[in-house]
Amino acid sequence: MILGIDEVGRGPWAGPLVIGAVILPEEKPEWVNELTDSKKLSKKKREKLSEIIINEAPATALGWVSSEEIDKLGLTESLKLATRRAVKEIQKKNIPFSEIVIDGTINFLAGTPLEKHVSILKKADFLVKEVSGASIIAKVARDQYMKKLAEIYPNYGFEKHVGYGTAFHKKAIEDFGVTPEHRKSFKPIREILGLSEEKLEEERITTKKIGDKAENIVAEYLEKNGHEIIARNFKTPFYEIDIISKKDDYIYFTEVKYRKDDFAGGGLFAVDERKQKQMEFATESFLKFKKEFKNLNPLLAVADVSGKKFELKNWFTLV
């Protein structure tokens, strides 16, 4: 049983990086013969096959890494992180596999217990059906995400170029600026913005200061409501948790979102299903290595801080 792995979104200027992971049925149905490199299929055919794969394959999963995370980690580490997120979701399904095939030339699971099971292969998305399936579901999912993004930022044409560096996309950035979905660490975006590496680092520092201020507001709120703060800005190479707190028999993992205004739903807009999965990944990873908290009930939470006055609009747990 092969677990196929492929990525979509390595090169765009905007939007997330997505890793697809697929295990196909042991007895291959007829539709498996139709699987190939997603780029060789029409949009209609990709969408049809993606639906079939998700509904009929024993296990499928997606690993998402946001543009913000790409700017923080760099592309190589982001590919590793997205792969680990996808594989973790596959492992939850308890479907056995004996080999992992990754499209390309780099083993993104190097340094993990699964490393010895990995084969890397150029053009695997064309040669190995499981990898073809992974490329299809990842491509369709990312395209759908960019289509939704186009509704929020209608001036950029995300539904057409899905974040890649077209002339239209470049002109839109020059006319309307960058969105939170743009990868500022990518050289074309830096050049359009006239940002040097030094200026970009200054922006990172400013962004961190703003984030720290928003987190301070939320931490104070939690402490006033009986929480004991366990950790702030808890970081590893593969995830970050803004605030970890404890109250009674519960341990809370709070994601703090700040926006200058309430456009597009304020800070809460950013906490979609993909972001929730990332939060779950971080929570499970933290508790796996912090055994002293194993008897507490974990809860994910979101805090929405908005405006120049850094007002806490809301704090709530996710069910």
Rounded Cα distance between 259 and 308, Å, is 9
pLDDT of residue 163: 97
Average pLDDT over residues 19-38: 95
Tell me the pLDDT tens digit for each residue of 194-210. Answer: 877 777 777 767 777 88
Instruction: Give buried/exposed letters for 266-298 (b at 16+ CB in 10 A, else e).
Output: bbbbbbeebbebbbbbbbebbbeeeeeeeebeb
Q: How many CB atoms lie within 10 A of CB 305?
A: 26
**Most confident segment among 6-20, 199-213, 226-240:** 6-20
Confidence band, pLDDT 50/70/90 cuts, at residue 20? very high
Average pLDDT over residues 45-55: 97
Q: Does the domain spanning 198-318 belong to CATH 3.20.20.100?
A: no
Residue spans per domain, the chain: 2-151, 198-318
Is 140's pLDDT higher than 90?
Answer: yes
Rounded Cα distance between 308 and 152, Å, is 22
pLDDT of residue 209: 85
pLDDT of residue 237: 67
Q: Roughly how many angstroms between the first and final C-alpha of the chain, as a whole number?
A: 34
Average pLDDT over residues 268-280: 74
Cα dist from 80 to 149, 172, 251, whole Å: 25, 31, 28
Average pLDDT over residues 283-290: 88
Least-confidence region, from 7-11, 178-182, 237-241, 287-291: 237-241
Confidence band, pLDDT 50/70/90 cuts, at residue 121? very high
SS (H, E, C) the chain: CEEEEEEECCCCCECCEEEEEEECCCCCCHHHHHCCCHHHCCHHHHHHHHHHHHHHCCEEEEEEECHHHHHHHCHHHHHHHHHHHHHHHHHHCCCCCCEEEEECCCCCCCCCCCHHHEEEECCHHHHCHHHHHHHHHHHHHHHHHHHHHHHHCCCCCHHHHCCCCCHHHHHHHHHHCCCCCECCCCHHHHHHHCCCHHHHHHHHHHHHHHHHHHHHHHHHHHHHCCCEEEEEEEECCCCEEEEEEEECCEEEEEEEEEECCCHHHHHHHHCCHHHHHHHHHHHHHHHHHCHHHCCCEEEEEEEEEECCCCEEEEEEEEC
Is 143's pLDDT higher than 90?
Answer: yes
pLDDT of residue 72: 84
Confidence band, pLDDT 50/70/90 cuts, at residue 14? very high
pLDDT of residue 270: 61
Percent of the chain at pLDDT above 90? 71
Is 124's pLDDT higher than 80?
Answer: yes
Q: Rounded to 5 degrees, what are φ and ψ at 77?
A: -65, -30
Q: Shortest CA distance to 149 belongs to which of 182, 188, 183? A: 182
Is 66's pLDDT higher than 80?
Answer: yes
Is 285's pLDDT higher than 80?
Answer: yes
Q: Are 16 and 9 in contact (CB under 8 A)?
A: yes
Q: Are 136 and 20 in contact (CB under 8 A)?
A: yes
Average pLDDT over residues 161-171: 96
Rounded Cα distance between 7 and 104, Å, is 9
Is 134's pLDDT higher than 90?
Answer: yes
Average pLDDT over residues 132-143: 97
Is 271's pLDDT higher than 80?
Answer: no
Q: Share the mean pLDDT of the chain.
A: 90
Which CATH number, 3.30.450.40, 3.30.420.10, 3.40.50.1000, 3.40.50.970, labels domain 2-151? 3.30.420.10
Tell me the pLDDT tens digit for each residue of 53-65. Answer: 999 999 999 999 9
